[in-house]
Amino acid sequence: MPKAKDNYENWCIRMKAILGANDVWELVEKGLMVPEDKANLNQVQKDQLQAQRKKDQKAIMIIHQCLDDSMLQKVASATTSKNVWDILNSSFSGDVKVKRVRLQTLRGEFEALRMKESESISDYFSRVLTIVNQMKSNGEEVSDVRVIEKILCSLVSKFDYKVVAIEEAKYIDEMTIDELMGSLQAHEEKMLKRNEPIEQALQAKLSFKNNDGRYTSQRGRGQGRGRGFLHGQGRGRGQ
């Protein structure tokens, strides 16, 4: 169970589920109802009040078990589960506002994401998922479909053909982020292999093998010929 200070909004969601499963959330939310004139209660009413107090103590115990030492000290003097819950809400209300502002910034960064021409699929996915994970940690629900749609519309133009093929297949709703990355990486590798012969040809033009086994650039070879020709002319003059 994560601590309240790490992510209070998610902590609340989990705590409500735990308290609800133990049939005490309604008591925490609405508070323990204690009649002002307890002396006039009949025995049945007294027994019901006692049962409610036990449930309230159970709720306090459950909440205490999910707090670290520093937060436990803040609610140590609270006598009802509602008091405990209200103190926690008050303590973290400032943090919630800060996270909302942070979330707005992250949403803007997410919308502005674009793949760079020199970037690999792996690197771009890492950049996207870093922001997505930050959004989730600040309370945003980010579905795989939302991330996939964002990636597909922000890739560089060399992936246009693959994007069209994926969109025409009409199974984006069923695709996972990992599946999309695998598909795009496979396409990226194919494109790289197609470019290899061109790169090798260029490399061959840039180098040649000398008689002594060393490789020299074509530019160096041309310059070498020029120097030899001039030296030959010099020797001719000497003769």
Phi, psi of 42 (to 5 degrees): -80, 175
Q: Tell me how far apart the alpha carbons of residues 56 and 31 are, in angstroms, rounded to a whole number.
A: 8
Q: Tell me how far apart the alpha carbons of residues 121 and 24 are, in angstroms, rounded to a whole number.
A: 49
Q: What pLDDT shows up at residue 136? A: 87
pLDDT of residue 212 exceeding 70, the answer is no
Per-residue confidence at 70, pLDDT binned at 50, 70, 90? confident
Nearest partner of 176 among 131, 222, 145, judged by Cα: 145
DSSP string for 21-74: HTT-HHHHHH-----S-GGG--HHHHHHHHHHHHHHHHHHHHHHHTS-HHHHHH
169 or 161: whose pLDDT is higher? 161
pLDDT of residue 224 exceeding 60, the answer is no
Per-residue confidence at 9, pLDDT binned at 50, 70, 90? confident
Average pLDDT rounded to a whole number, residues 37-62:
90
Name, of 134-148, 184-198, 207-221, the range with top average pLDDT. 134-148
Mind listing the pLDDT tens digit for each residue in 15-31?
999 999 999 999 999 99
Q: What pLDDT shows up at residue 197? A: 55
Mean residue pLDDT of the chain comes to 81
Strand partners, 215: 209
Mind listing the pLDDT tens digit for each residue in 129-145?
999 998 987 778 899 99
- Residue boundaries of the structural domains of the chain: 8-98, 113-203
**Which residues have CB under 8 Å from 52's CB, separation 6+?**
27, 32, 33
Q: Tell me how far apart the alpha carbons of residues 2 and 239 are, in angstroms, rounded to a whole number.
A: 94
- What CA–CA distances, in Å, run from 117 to 150, 159, 180, 190, 198? 17, 11, 19, 17, 19
Percent of the chain with pLDDT over 90: 49
Q: What pLDDT shows up at residue 94? A: 63
The CA dihedral of 178, 183, 188, 194, to the nearest 10 degrees, is: 160
